[in-house]
Structure 1
Amino acid sequence: MKKIAKFSILILTAVICFNCSSSDDGGDTNGGDPEPNPNPNKITTYDADVKAIIDGQCIRCHTTPLQNGATFPMDNFNETRNGINRGMIERIQSTSSRRVMPPPPAAMLTQEVIDIIRDWEADGLLEN
């Protein structure tokens, strides 16, 4: 009888352990990474959404001639699109003071602004 009781407790413990997990089954299918398309209900374009961000936050360094150590210009659509392909998204999302864009002492971009740029990339880097 003691063996059956111990075996029952062991089985019950195993069932409880396997049913409890850190997953909330909330549908996170990309390992905790940000959503690949922050705003799937809107088509984001350079002309309508991104150009104003670039002009307000980036063009002071990413212009021709380049300023303050910038490595590529972003004066127009094609140059900005090329910047995305050169790791711009990673730089604007970085929290490292050596990699973040814009660099200090400029204010970091808000998550809302970063999401617009990420959404533009997810939508195919459309011009207009």
Structure 2
Amino acid sequence: MLKAKCHSCHTSPQQGGFVFPLLTFEDTRVVTNDGIVRADKMKTAVESGRMPPPPAALTAEEKQALLDWLGTCGQPEPEGQGCECTTPEACP
């Protein structure tokens, strides 16, 4: 879901004023300047409906799936089942 809904803006190098990439599991684990893990900030942004913005807005089912994942601290998929990439083009 991150690939489909977030990678077009949260890429590296950053585009459209977005200040951080969300391309890897490690990107979601970064502790921000205010001491909050980025995945927790993602959860707040998704819950409020602020992210992702149109046209990438989530369906109700997608939103719940993402919130469920973020609610479990955004655990990674077993190796080989997730999207560990360095650029959106490299993702399967």
TM-score when normalising by structure 2? 0.63
CA pair 73-84 structure 1, distance change in 2 beyond 3 A: same
- Residue aligning to 1:19: none
Q: Which amino acid aligns with 1:65?
A: P
- Residue aligning to 2:59: 110
1: CA distance between counterparts of 2:48 and 2:72? 22
2: CA distance between counterparts of 1:124 and 1:108? 22
Equivalent position to 2:46, from 83, 89, 92: 92
Structure 1 runs not aligned, ≥5 long: 1-52
Q: Which amino acid aligns with 1:90?
A: T
Judging by fraction of residues, say which structure has more helix. Answer: 1
2: CA distance between counterparts of 1:62 and 1:93? 18
CA offsets, 1:91-120, max 9 Å, x none?
12324xxxx21223x142112111112211
Q: Does 1:127 align with 2:82?
A: no
TM-score when normalising by structure 1? 0.47
Number of residue-to-residue matches in the alignment = 70
User: Aligned with 2:75: secondary structure?
Assistant: coil
% of aligned pairs identical? 34
Q: What is the deviation of 1:123?
A: 2.7
Equivalent position to 2:23, from 75, 85, 95: 75
2: CA distance between counterparts of 1:89 and 1:122? 7
